[in-house]
Amino acid sequence: MPITVTRLPIEGLFIIQPKVFGDARGYFLESFNERDFHDAGLTMRFVQDNQSFSRKGVLRGLHFQKKHPQGKLVRVIQGEVYDVAVDIRPGSSTFGHYYGLILSGEQHNQFYIPPGFAHGFVVLSETALFAYKCTDYYHPEDEGGIRWNDPELAIPWPLTDVQVSAKDAQLPYFTALQKEQL
């Protein structure tokens, strides 16, 4: 099989490792092949691709959409990030739990995050080119988020000196969010 799929301790999260064909010229890989994903039991449908470029210490997140939740297949093309998904599915046995891992252009690993999760990452390398596929379209009026440094979530971000957007710096804490939105 051209991909290896690893189920993670939080239901719905997967690490996907594509087969990489390398030689003296470089490498080739299929970052997504619907047939291979379906054969592995991953039947999600993607409708939008996004890409961002960031410098070391930039932290983006923790983001989600409220009424139009998106599943995301995330990967790093160049560089390295610490990537985090937080379960915000009411009624889930892992509600409020997170899973974090390093994604890198060198490892070619991918992380699938289903709808119902908040997502964010911090750049560990000098720069990072980050790409992701989404299962629903972006709706700007539907944005939601959780403060990256929420003490209740206690995510062990590997960098503490980070740059966040003004909008992300004002996101609510998880406890407040539960009362008003979830």
- In this structure, what DSSP letter does residue 24 have? T
Please confirm, yes or no, whether 63 is among the known catalytic residues: yes
The dihedral sign for the CA sequence 149, 151, 153, 155: positive
- Which is the catalytic residue, given 63, 98, 112, 119? 63
Which element (helix H / strand E) includes 175?
Answer: helix 174-180
Closest CA to 105 of 70, 53, 148: 53
- Which is the catalytic residue, given 82, 98, 112, 132? 132
Please confirm, yes or no, whether 132 is among the known catalytic residues: yes
Closest CA to 148 of 89, 77, 82: 82
Distance in angstroms (rounded) separating the CA atoms of residues 146 and 156: 15
Q: What are the CA-CA distances from residue 25 to residues 21, 28, 50, 77, 104 (Å)?
A: 11, 10, 28, 17, 20
How much of the chain is in helix, strand and coil states, percent to nearest 5?
10, 45, 45
Give the DSSP letter string of 99-125.
EEEEEETTTT-EEEE-SSEEEEEEE-S
Indicate which residues carry an active-site annotation: 63, 132
